[in-house]
Amino acid sequence: AQKITQTQPGMFVQEKEAVTLDCTYDTSDPSYGLFWYKQPSSGEMIFLIYQGSYDQQNATEGRYSLNFQKARKSANLVISASQLGDSAMYFCAMREGPSSGTYKYIFGTGTRLKVLA
């Protein structure tokens, strides 16, 4: 079974509008972390935001916020006031463990976001 699921292979959003990228996860580990990364066409993976499983509040970083619904096992990324530079591939990731002393990170299949002028 998929541990990280991103159901939207592609999304379009109008410039200056908000967009939500979906991510659901599956784990039996009570302690885990959730991450979102942005990968522009240059290929670099840029860390955007982190949510810990015990965090009471949703994480926010500038225009990025994470809508964390623990009971539903979802960690959707919300980008407010979209900009043309937000066009990229977005990956959701989960950290489990540690197992054998090392954390395990699992990535989703990604969502390609295109911001329209």
Partner 1 sequence: GAVVSQHPSWVICKSGTSVKIECRSLDFQATTMFWYRQFPKQSLMLMATSNEGSKATYEQGVEKDKFLINHASLTLSTLTVTSAHPEDSSFYICSATSGLGTDTQYFGPGTRLTVL
Q: Which residues make up the interface to partner 1 (CB under 8 A)?
A: 33, 35, 37, 42-47, 50, 52, 91, 93, 95, 100-103, 105, 107-110
Report the C-alpha gap between 115 and 5 in whole angstroms: 22
Instruction: Compare residues 12 and 47 and give the one whose CB is closer to partner 1.
Output: 47
Instruction: Rank residues 50 and 64 by Cβ distance to partner 1 and give the closer one.
Output: 50
Distances (CA, A) of 81 to 4, 23, 91, 104: 26, 20, 20, 33
Q: Which is nearer to partner 1, 20 or 96 (CB)?
A: 96
φ, ψ of residue 14 to 5 degrees: the values are -80, 140
